[in-house]
Structure 1
Amino acid sequence: MRFNPEWRTQYQSKLTTADHAVDDIKRGQRVFIGSGAAEPQALVAALAARGDYLADNQLIHIRSLGVAPYTESKFSEKFRYNTFFIGDNVRGAVSEGRADYTPIFLSEVPHLFRQGKAPIDVALIQITPPDEHGFCSYGVSVDIVKAATESAKLVVAEINPRMPRTLGDSFIHIDRIDQLIENETPIFEFPVVPADDVARRIGRHIAELVEDGSTIQMGIGTIPDSVLHELHGHKDLGVHTEMVSDGIIQLIEKGVVNGSRKSLHRGKVVTSFALGTQQLYDFLDDNPLFEFYPNEYSNDPFVISRNKRMVAVNAALEIDLTGQVCSDSLGTYFYSGIGGQVDFIRGAARSEGGKPVIAMPSTAIVDGQRVSRITSMLKQGAGVVTSRGDVHYVVTEFGAVDLHGKSIRERALGLIHIAHPDFREELMEAARQRHFVYSDQVVVPGAGMEELEELETDFIAENGVDVHFRPIEPTDEPLIQDLFYRCSEQTIYLRFFSYLKAMPHSRAQHLVAVDYDNSLALVGTVQEGQREVIIAVGRYSRDPATNYAECAFLVRDDWQDKGVGRYLIERLMEVARGSGIVGFTADVLIQNTRMLHVFHLCAPGPVQSRIEEGSYHLTFSLYEPEEEAETPKGT
């Protein structure tokens, strides 16, 4: 590839004014306008001013942060705006039919230009001043701008010295530009919105899914920013995303994001565009840590999948109980766009150890009323962006659920579990009526769910395996059944006082549907391959009359004598003390020496026992004897 060494002379010969630059745009031509924060502001203003001399010009764009004057009704006969993503400033025009929306995966947009399916006559772009070799950087928006520019018959560039010079596949030579204007103006900024409590809780749940050494993709908004904030305790993260925002700066400065364990573009942050504040733009300027690529590369699912442990986080507007995700419309009202959601969902799904995540608040305010974003069925006219077959993790402020490979019944139960408590009964009734769940399926309790995430802990068993302890969930029904059938007959007899032969739904569902106001059930889980299994369960139920709680636990045979039972009882005691419970009672068969030993070992003081029909009835305080005198004995 050869370029004219006399590019400086070329530069001067191509230099003109914004008004003269748009004079060459003819009626009926298709005009591409640079994206996002890199929208060429002077050229757009000049184009709008020339509107009286144009007709039937299609303006092609991905997202505008400007005022978009060409969408005003007075230009309806002059310009027809066509966007691949609907922003605030064009949403009204699209809904009123004065502008078009083209739904398409972002990775495929460049091919539309290059193959001529969406031909570009003129490209209006904003770039940096040329370097000593005559190369200009596309700056904060490479995305689809590069493909549109390379496909256009006429390229008009707005040179802005305030545009940060970004690296990667981010350059165009003066040779490739037909006309130039100079315009020093601030780059559009996208302000950081402070996260509310809901966004922060969603961020915590997502951060728990991210392992050290993962590569992450985030969008823009309060939820992605909250996720980035919650990742400050992680190590060696990488980034492969379609966009970067301000939240990434601190992670890089603290060494959390260093890309040292990336399997593709090691040590680099890969992106296609940036939206943020001036602080972000200054950070990006000539920073070799960042590599900007066009969307046909950054968003290619097969490229994305080459990143091991790829975690892709994308937003949704609504999801139904079968796992259909609506992300671009509110019923028939087009709201945003497909963007790169499916590209990254599918890329992360193909990644070794990857986790595709859909995140959203559990509710929204519509016409002054709170509604559930998790619904029995999508609104009429709603568009499915991520299908039932593509969906994996779904996260709200009430938790995370993995839907991949799960039945409709399991999906419905999981989604109801992370729905807002005010809507769970309504959703369960709808699920029963549609035969998604058993006709006798109990309603998932909602009380106390917000505090349950604080009860999760990890314990290294005596065999060296990490056991994760957490509150039991309604979706654990098959895991509880699996635990039951993997225990010996003797273990089952010692726990249930009879030789139970089966653990049907009618029994199992009551073991996993816990009223956390007066009861608690904790399970110990381990990973067997890619599957979570329960190896222990313990529970207590408070008697309000005495403020004592009945306690019991079960440990799978191959996990007994490894410290699991003792840790489980100690955790139950710790939580019970925090709930104001003063003591435990337990009924233990005389021959169940292991359980008797654990209770005597864990009790802070003496254990009172009496024999009743072949079993010991144990009673002990949760406090040391010297503390007991100060402890309230009842409610």
Structure 2
Amino acid sequence: MAPDWRTRCQGKLTTLKRAISEIKRGEHLYLSDGSATPHGLIQGLMADDVQLGDNEIVHMLTLGPAPYVQPQYASRFRHNALFIGANVREAVTEGRADYTPVFLSEIPGLIRSGRIRVDVALVSLAPPDAEGYCSFGTHVDCAIAATSVARLVIGQINPRMPRTFGPGRIHVDRVHHLVEFEHPLPELPTPKIRPETETIARHVAELIPDGATLQMGIGGIPDQVLRFLRDRKDLGIHTEMFSDGVVDLVERGVVTCNRKNFNPGKIVAGFVLGSQKTYDWMHENKLVEMHPVDYTNDPFNIAQNDNMHAINTCLQVDLTGQVCSDSIGTSFYSGIGGQVDFIRGAARSKGGKAIIALPSTALDGVVSRIVPRLDEGAGVVTTRGDVHWIVTEYGAVNLHGMNVRERAMALITIAHPKFRPWLLAEAKRNKFIYSDQLEPPIYAPVYPKALEARTHTKDGLELFLRPVRPTDERQMHDLFYTLSSETVHQRFFAAKKYMWHDNLQRFCTIDYDRDMTLVATIRKGATEIIIAWASYNLDARTEFAEAAFVVADVYQNRGIGTILMRRLTAIAEARQIRGFTATVLVSNPRMLRVFEKCGYPIQREREGDIYLLSIPFEESTRELWEANATR
């Protein structure tokens, strides 16, 4: 029988008091963090008889008590947070502790170079294996770098720490003292799930295809997204951290990592924050590889995975696309972490998406998180040049490649409706948008996502039908200038040469009730292109709506106009509109045939070279139309 690890390592095992006594005054101490926070060693640091003073403690996010930041220990310890957690936030805010803003991927290199000095590494470890190696368990992140440069390495052996695979281990020969201290691993508190969080998570999930590789940042939104991915296939994980939601998807067969290009077949992470169930699941699980964060968060490594989808959150976004994630005004709140690492990596991934998700408001709806400008003192974590997708409970917009005017309009459309007039006014004042930009409708301002639909023409062309958005102005502009002079004349009854902003915005800024515009789009690569639209405008006096449509010349005679008009008719019926009116040139029989196929008989009256059409939505006339259509 092999000897117990305690027997094999008895020369390293010592008491807590003896191990801590080796630390010198003024030295810089590194603490392993998160679920690997070494609370036994922390107790030793706080003992009354410890001869320490003017020591710096540096770590990332820790869980559980952090007594070393209390005012009574100010002469003993100065704290330096690389990421601010709830247990040290007050101390940082009051100036009793420091905060170092830094990309997570760069921390190991800064430790090795001495820019972040580590004299003593206090780390949590799993019990040694037969070869004398101790796993760093749930947190590899910066532990390899810290233990490689430290003068003194003190390892807390916790039998509850899972043994994990990957490079995250240290031989007992490199550890100066081992202290056995068993305690439950700190668990990540379950965040309160608000209704808007689930809506945001649904919007994000819609952006994620089968076979995607995921990164989830810290927060309730990223973890909630996983709940809405249970119908996906062959997802992969390459992330700085993961939590309980990943385990659920593995057990459901959703996460397989089989389509990953980089570390295929493996979940790759730097640390894990979750429940004890997740920590137990990790133990000697060959699916999981734990790596240091200069590996997991290296944008080059991240980009090696096709369809890399990075999901992070933030505190504020301004109308130009600047993202604040680490501070509320001048008060530091969290940290830079790995957000920028993964945004840049995902942006360079083939088919990848960099996603920032946030609620539209804070303080129970009192303030908007989408703002004209960031609060004074707020830090820009993700620049306006790096930002791609922004998601709130009101929708998702891709800002990448948009000019400032388009960005401002896009972000206003996903802001909380009650703040949209204010945001529009501020955007005008700052000259971000046109001074004559129409106000968003107040009485029905929410984009009707339920009206979106996917369909295809008889010859197999896939179409996405959706209501128009104010951000479609550029696309509608481009569609107009593809139209032949004949198509323009048939739609506008004049030789219209230009489509200026003041005309276009009336098609794009609508209330989705009395006015409706549906667009038909196709995809060319990652770009959505509008190829047709159909609209109605309600006459409140008659309760009939004037309808019209246009299809790009190269897509005509494929049934697209008919598809749009039937969909538009169904929407108008649901809104209890009495019927459609339309004006059609006598020389345009194709447009006339489209109206004839909308589902109701047409009443027509000729005036010169035009037909005036009336299409009442009456059940008796629908039955007559259906009878004639089957003859």
Number of the residue aligned with 1:472: 468
- The answer to whether the Cα contact below 8 Å between 1:245 and 1:274 also exists between their aligned partners in 2 is yes
Please give the TM-score of this superposition, normalised by the length of structure 2: 0.95
SS state of the match for residue 351, structure 1? Answer: coil
The change in CA–CA distance for 1:55 and 1:396 in structure 2 (over 3 A counts) is same
- Aligned mate of 1:617, from 612, 618, 621: 612
Q: Which residue of 1 aligns with 2:68?
A: 70
Structure 1 pair 351–50 and aligned structure 2 pair: CA distance change class (3 A): farther
- Partners of 1:256 and 1:335 lie apart in 2 by 34
Contact 1:10 1:174 in 2 (8 A): no
In 1, Cα distance between equivalents of 2:608 and 2:81: 77
Matched, 1:397 2:396: no
Which amino acid in the other structure matches residue 305 of structure 1?
A
In the other structure, the counterpart of 1:229 is 227
Q: Describe the shift of the 1:566–1:167 C-alpha distance in structure 2 as closer, same or farther (beyond 3 A).
A: same
| Letter of the structure 1 residue corresponding to residue 385 of structure 2 | G
* TM superposition shift of 1:624: 4.0
Q: Contact 1:416/1:444 (CA < 8 Å) preserved in 2?
A: no
Corresponding residue number in structure 1 for 2:415: 419
- Residues 5 and 129, structure 2, Cα contact 8 Å, conserved in 1: no
> Counterpart in 1 of 2:500?
504
Which runs of structure 2 are paired with 1:105-116 in the superposition (5 Å)?
105-116=103-114
Paired residues in the alignment total 622
| Pairing 1:252–2:247 present | no
Q: How does 1:475-554 map to 2 (within 5 A)?
A: 475-554=471-550
- 2 CA distance for matches of 1:11 and 1:159? 11
TM-score (norm 1): 0.94
CA contact (8 A) 1:164 1:284 kept: yes
The residue type equivalent to 1:612 in the other structure is: E
The structure 1 residue matched to 2:239, chosen from 234, 238, 241, is 241
Q: Identify if the C-alpha distance between structure 1 residues 288 and 6 changes in structure 2 by more than 3 Å, giving closer, same or farther.
A: closer
Amino acid at match of 2:374: L
1:323-344, Cα deviation, whole Å (9 max, x unpaired): 1111111110101100001111
Query: C-alpha displacement at 1:158, in angstroms?
Result: 1.1
Question: What does residue 560 of structure 2 align with?
Answer: 564
Structure 1 Cα separation of the partners of residues 192 and 592 of structure 2: 52
For each residue in 1:479-525, what CA deviation from the matched residue of structure 2 results, as whole angstroms up to 9, or x when unmatched? Answer: 00000001111111111121210001111111100112322211111
Displacement of 1:64 after TM fit?
Answer: 1.1
Shift of residue 626, structure 1, vs aligned partner = 8.2
Alpha-carbon offset, residue 61 of structure 1? 0.6
Question: What is the identity, as a one-letter code, of the residue corresponding to 1:57?
Answer: N
More deviation, 100-109/278-287: 278-287
Give 1:177's aligned residue.
Answer: 175
Give the percent of matched residue pairs that are identical in Structure 1 and Structure 2: 50
Distance between the aligned counterparts of 1:6 and 1:361, measured in 2? 52
Of 416, 440, 444, the match for 1:444? 440
Distance 2:100 2:613 in 1: 69
Residue of structure 2 equivalent to 1:269 = 267
* CA apart distance, 1:585: 2.3
Between 284-293 and 585-594, report the one with greater CA deviation.
585-594
Aligned amino acid, residue 95 of structure 1:
T
User: How much does 1:557 deviate?
Assistant: 0.9
Check 1:410–1:432 CA distance in 2 against 1; reply closer, same or farther (3 A cut). Answer: same
Structure 1 residue aligned with 2:92 = 94
With over 3 angstroms needed to count, the CA separation of the structure-2 counterparts of 1:212 and 1:448, relative to structure 1, is farther
Deviation at 1:451, TM superposition (A): 5.7
CA shift, 1:208, in A, is 1.9
CA distance in 2, matches of 1:218, 1:148: 25
- 8 A Cα contact 2:235 2:257, kept in partner: yes
- Identify which range, 187-196 or 266-275, moves more after superposition: 187-196
Which whole-Å CA distance do the structure 1 matches of 2:61 and 2:466 have between them? Answer: 43
CA distance in 1, matches of 2:585, 2:424: 38
Partner AA of 1:16 in structure 2: T
1:205 has 2:203 as partner = yes
Letter in 1 for 2:603: Q
Equivalent residue number for residue 606 of structure 1: 601
**How far apart are residue 447 of structure 1 and its match?**
4.4
How does 1:85-484 map onto structure 2 within 5 Å? 85-365=83-363, 370-445=366-441, 447-450=443-446, 452-484=448-480
1:606–1:620 contact (8 Å) kept in structure 2: yes
Following the alignment from structure 2 to structure 1, what is the Cα–Cα distance between the partners of residues 277 and 570? 46
Q: Please give the secondary structure, in 2, of the residue aligned with 1:88.
A: coil
After superposition, the Cα gap between the structure-2 partners of 1:91 and 1:399, relative to the gap in structure 1 and judged at 3 Å, is same
Q: In 1, Cα distance between the equivalents of 2:283 and 2:276?
A: 11
Q: State the AA in 2 paired with 1:211.
A: P
Would the aligned equivalents of 1:412 and 1:431 in 2 still touch at CA under 8 Å? yes
SS at match of 2:448: helix
Q: Which is further off, 64-73 or 307-316?
A: 307-316
Q: Against the structure 1 CA distance between its residues 613 and 227, is the aligned structure 2 distance closer, same or farther, given a 3 Å change threshold? A: farther
C-alpha contact (below 8 Å) 2:417/2:446 kept by paired residues = no
1:465 CA displacement: 2.9
Superposed displacement of residue 360, structure 1? 0.9
Residue 586 of structure 2 corresponds to residue 590 of structure 1: yes
Secondary structure of the corresponding residue to residue 569 of structure 1: helix
C-alpha distance in 2, partners of 1:173/1:571? 67
Contact 2:445–2:511 under 8 Å retained in 1: no
The 2-side partners of 1:227 and 1:541 are apart by 38
Contact 2:31/2:37 (8 A) holds in 1: yes
Q: CA deviation at 1:375?
A: 1.1
Tell me the distance in 1 between the aligned counterparts of 2:268 and 2:42.
29
SS of the residue aligned with 1:241? Answer: coil
C-alpha displacement of 1:548: 2.9
| Alpha-carbon displacement from aligned partner over 1:103-158 (angstroms, at most 9, x marks no partner) | 00000000111112222111111111122222221111111122112221111111
The corresponding residue for 1:633 is: none
Q: Secondary structure at the match of 2:521?
A: strand
The one-letter code of the counterpart of 1:303 is N
| One-letter amino acid of the counterpart of residue 601, structure 2 | P
Deviations 1:336-363 (A, max 9, x none): 1000011111111111122111111111
Distance verdict in 2 for CA 1:534–1:369, change over 3 Å: closer
Change in Cα spacing, 1:577 to 1:19, as seen in structure 2 (3 Å) is farther
In 2: Cα distance, 1:216 partner to 1:256 partner: 12
CA–CA separation in structure 2 for the residues paired with 1:261 and 1:170 = 24
- The Cα of 1:170 is off from its aligned counterpart by 1.9
* CA shift digits 1:360-389 (9 cap, x unpaired): 111111xx7711111111111111111111
Could you say what secondary structure the match of 1:38 adopts? Answer: coil
One-letter amino acid of the counterpart of residue 400, structure 1? A
Instruction: Provide the rounded CA distance (Å) in 2 between the counterparts of 1:235 and 1:109.
Output: 34
How far apart, in 2, do the equivalents of 1:447 and 1:361 lie? Answer: 22
How far, CA to CA, are the matches of 2:143 and 2:449 in structure 1?
A: 44
**1:192·1:246 contact (CA, 8 Å) conserved in 2?**
no
Q: Letter of the aligned partner of 1:232 in structure 2?
A: R
Q: CA offsets per residue over residues 239-260 of structure 1, 9 Å max, x none?
A: 1110001111222222222112
Partner of 1:34: 32
Report the CA distance between 1:547 and its aligned residue: 3.4
| Residue identity opposite 1:132 in structure 2 | A
> Does the CA-based 8 Å contact 2:12-2:176 persist in structure 1?
yes
Q: What CA distance in whole angstroms lies between the structure 1 residues aligned with 2:530 and 2:49?
A: 67
- 5+ long unaligned stretches in structure 2: 625-631
